[in-house]
Chains A and B, each alone.
Chain A
């Protein structure tokens, strides 16, 4: 008995390994997915190794070298490859440090939103009735207020800081997950294996953990990944509008808003952070699209 169990266990492990391997090979085959992976990995490494990669302290001002152009323009040097901003801060170093905030805020807010949304989505879908009504009407009301406006108001009231920003981004964007998890739960709940589990007396918690959750998780991962992209843009937008990241912290959105005033004379200050945002978001979208093709072919865009 034990031997059969062990063999089946090890064959299961082998299968799992095989599945992971084939996932990886499919990632290599999908060109955009691979590009996405490279971009996301590069950004992550950049964020982790920022103190070693950046040549300057991103907050260090130097009035003597303000608004220097990038190295290929006249007056630019390799000392500041992408030039300096209005306070003489090195643009490249600020972009490298900016990746930290982008990824930190983007990923933590998505995790927070995902947990809240998963919780309420499961309750609404599984228990139904009054719970469903209350939760889904709350979702509807959240959806009726444009999310950027919602976040601006909360940030204005609570005062901007990195933890608040994560809380606000997560606390207002959970509704997308709640909706998706609810509808998936509704369909899983009526399947035969869930009904028979209930018939033999399995507890609700066990049914949710063992049968519902595994069925919901792949769509959940896809949506969460794609939402990292929109969260990065939202953080940049909020910082641009002045209620997100505050100086001396560095954010690409904040850099853009600084650079906007010097557009006529020093285009580089506003241009490079925008490119950094676009490339990062592209990478995340590519990776998310690939995950969707592999994990969850039934979701369409």
Chain B
């Protein structure tokens, strides 16, 4: 527990650094005033807006004020949607969660049987086929896979809608797009983790007791092989959210990722910073939880 608390304390400077990075990106580089005003604005108008927004004060003062606003939960207004940036971000969050969970389900359905199979039938033709498929899944850019799925199943076969959000049918293609990359990574992980476990003494003991092979593999080996897999996957939260950015854009899925890409293109910086900070906090939290779960599941790990 002491170790865990220490890790929680370590996140404080990280959070501060992230606010500094976002502050530098959004406020210092580029000219926020020129993005808010029409191009015909006079120099006087620019100057008065700068003064009103506090851009003429020294940078450290601006940063402290900015931190004060963040603590109060004030991320500014979206000039594109004319509403509170944080509200806008929170409004889009459920759609992204829906997509992320659906793609994790797709990834698990694909990778668990394939990962176990390729470890059990190591060096067989089947193993070669599965590991080859996993490398291919990693090499394919997800946005291209998404476009190809649309071409095959939405345009040609017309089984699924091309884009947008609706019922379950709208969710399937985006979930496969995002899930395939995760599945590729997970299959490799499950395979190597299973291979390690299958070579250990307690597996030989279980076999020598005369247990059926399916029980040895599914109950004894797989459960133990899962521990590192769960942890490493939980550490991929940042990658998963990065993936939703692209998948949501391809399928016009109205989540946080699509909002972010649009906001970046429109230079709607309040939205960008609210979403970025929220994502960063979420990633840090999930890393902490992953660490905690790992330690709970596997008490052999030392608290160094």
- When distances are taken between beta carbons in the complex, the residues of chain A under 8 Å from B113 are none
- Contact between chains at A144 and B246 (CB < 8 Å): no
Q: Are A274 and B239 in contact (CB under 8 A)?
A: no
| Contact A241/B144 with A145-B238, A153-B25 known, Cβ cut-off 8 Å | no
Give Cα A148 to B118, complex, Å. Answer: 32
Whether, in the assembled complex, A214 has its beta carbon less than 8 Å from a beta carbon of chain B, the answer is: no
A209 at the interface (CB under 8 A from B): no
> A141-B21, A158-B29, A256-B147 given as contacts; is B246 within 8 A of A148 (CB)?
yes
> Among residues 204 to 258 in chain B, which have CB atoms less than 8 Å away from a CB atom of chain A?
238-239, 241-242, 245-246, 249-250
Q: Are the CB atoms of A274 and B141 closer together than 8 Å? A: yes
Q: Out of B29, B139, B150, name the residue touching A282 (CB < 8 Å).
A: B139
One of A187-195, A197-205, A263-271 at the interface: A263-271
* A27 part of interface (Cβ distance < 8 Å): no
* Chain A min CB distance to B107 (Å): 17
A157 and B30 contacting across the interface, CB-CB below 8 Å:
yes
A145 touches B18 (CB 8 A): yes
B110 at the interface (CB under 8 A from A): no
Contacts of B147 in A (CB 8 A): 256, 259-260, 263, 270, 274
Contacts of B238 in A (CB 8 A): 143-147
Contact of B136 among A143, A240, A271, A282 (CB under 8 A): A282
- Per-residue CB contact flags for chain B residues 1-35 toward chain A (1 = under 8 Å, else 0) read 00000000011011101100100011001100000
Q: Is A149 an interface residue (CB 8 A)?
A: yes
Is A243 on the interface with B (CB-CB < 8 A)?
A: yes
Q: Which of A144, A145, A147, A158 has the most CB of B within 10 A?
A: A144
Residues in B with CB closer than 8 Å to A263 are 147, 150-151, 155
Chain B residues within 8 Å of chain A by Cβ, number:
49
Residue of B15, B141, B188 with most partner-chain A CB within 10 A:
B141
Instruction: Give chain A residues whose Cβ lies under 8 Å from the Cβ of B242.
Output: 146-149
B151 close to A278 (CB less than 8 A): no
Chain B proximity mask over A135-154: 1 for CB below 8 Å, otherwise 0: 00110111111111100111
Within 8 Å CB of B29, what residues of A? 154, 157-158
Chain A interface, >50% SS class: helix
Instruction: Pick the residue among B14, B135, B245, B260 that contacts A140 (CB under 8 A).
Output: B14
- B261 contacts the other chain (CB 8 A): yes
Contact call B135/A237, Cβ cutoff below 8 A:
no
List A contacts of B13 (CB < 8 A).
Answer: 133, 137
- Assess whether B70 is interfacial by the CB under 8 Å rule: no
Question: Of the candidates A137, A147, A229, which one forms a contact with B17 in the assembled complex, judged by CB atoms under 8 Å apart?
Answer: A137
Give min CB distance, A85 to chain B, whole Å. 14
Interface residues of A in 231-260 (CB under 8 A from B): 233, 236-237, 240-243, 253, 256, 259-260
Contact B21 A145 (CB under 8 A): yes
Q: Judging by beta carbons under 8 Å apart, are A148 and B245 in contact?
A: yes
Q: Are A240 and B143 in contact (CB under 8 A)?
A: yes
In the complex, whether A110 has a CB less than 8 A from a CB of chain B is no
Q: Is A277 interfacial (CB 8 A cutoff)?
A: yes
A285 close to chain B: CB less than 8 A: yes
Determine the distance from Cα of A243 to Cα of B261 in the docked complex, in whole angstroms. 10
A253 and B29 CA atoms in complex are apart in Å by 27
Q: Which of B98-106, B264-272, B290-298 contacts A (4 or more CB under 8 A)?
A: B264-272
B140 at the interface (CB under 8 A from A): yes
A28 nearest CB across to chain B (Å) = 19
Contacting pair B279 A242 (CB below 8 A) = no
Which residue, of A143, A147, A279, has the highest number of chain B Cβ atoms within 10 A? A143
For B151, list chain A residues within 8 Å (CB). Answer: 263, 267, 270-271
Residue picked from B139, B272, B281, most chain A C-beta under 10 Å:
B139
Task: Output the least CB separation between B33 and chain A (Å).
Answer: 14
Q: How far is the CB of B262 from chain A (nearest CB, A)?
A: 10
Nearest to B282 among chain A residues (CB) is: A144
Name the B residues within 8 Å of A278 (CB-CB): 136, 139-141, 144
A279 contacts which chain B residues (CB < 8 A)?
Answer: 139
Tell me whether A285 and B279 are in contact in the complex, defined as CB-CB below 8 angstroms, given that A141-B14, A145-B21, A156-B264 are known contacts.
no
Decide yes or no whether A281 CB sits under 8 A from chain B. Answer: yes
Chain A residues with CB under 8 A of B189: 301
Please state if B280 and A145 are interface contacts (CB–CB under 8 Å). Answer: yes
Closest to B235 in A: A143
Q: How far is the CB of B187 from chain A (nearest CB, A)?
A: 11
Query: How far is it, in angstroms, between the C-alpha of A278 and the C-alpha of B189 when the chains are bound?
Result: 21
Complexed CA–CA distance, A271 and B141 (Å): 12
Q: Does A298 contact B (CB under 8 A)?
A: no
A138 to chain B, nearest CB (A): 6
A137-B13, A149-B242, A153-B264 known; 17 new pairs, CB 8 Å cut-off, are A141-B21, A144-B281, A144-B287, A145-B279, A146-B245, A152-B264, A156-B267, A157-B30, A237-B143, A256-B144, A263-B147, A273-B144, A274-B148, A277-B140, A281-B139, A281-B140, A300-B192
| Shortest 7 CB-CB contacts between residues of A and residues of B | A146-B242, A274-B144, A141-B17, A281-B139, A144-B280, A157-B30, A282-B139
Binding site for A on B (CB under 8 A): 10-11, 13-15, 17-18, 21, 25-26, 29-30, 135-136, 138-141, 143-144, 147-148, 150-151, 155, 188-189, 192, 238-239, 241-242, 245-246, 249-250, 260-261, 264-265, 267, 272, 276, 279-281, 283-284, 287
- Can you list 14 A-B contacts with CB-CB less than 8 angstroms, sorted by A residue number? A137-B13, A140-B284, A141-B280, A144-B280, A146-B245, A149-B276, A152-B264, A153-B26, A153-B276, A158-B30, A253-B141, A263-B151, A271-B151, A281-B141
